[in-house]
Structure 1
């Protein structure tokens, strides 16, 4: 990807909205907004940043959920962290292969 293509991608409204949601979710997890809400913000950003419905979206969703969980776990310890951790373990158990 060259600089011109990257610049065009960043200037798109959907990319800017996706970046704003992702930054808000990460900042929210860091400052104690709550894991569930932070995770929702970051997961909502993925289709805006990766527009085609491929395996990349699934992998980013898995990575984002695990990352937000770890970030929130270091800042807050509440029922949302427990629910998200259980959901992540259940999703990994159902994953084929």
Structure 2
């Protein structure tokens, strides 16, 4: 991170003013949204309709966020979406086997 330095001098008094401006911190909004939705999908994976919707949105936002920098939360959201998918499949399989027994 290079700081941009601007030097202004006043012609009247010879006073020098130095302004240090740092670069704007980059963020990945889609990656963050994907991480949060994947986390909520993981927490609510046992709720039949809500778990699927949150999982799908978390997966989509995390996948799109991978193509933007920084990628950290997007990768974490994608991993949590995969874990939530496994849990959702297990829950649906358990419910299906309960229904088959009846």
Q: TM-score, normalized by length of structure 1?
A: 0.43
Higher-strand-fraction structure: 2
Higher-helix-fraction structure: 1
Q: TM-score, normalized by length of structure 2?
A: 0.42
Of structures 1 and 2, the larger Rg is shown by 2
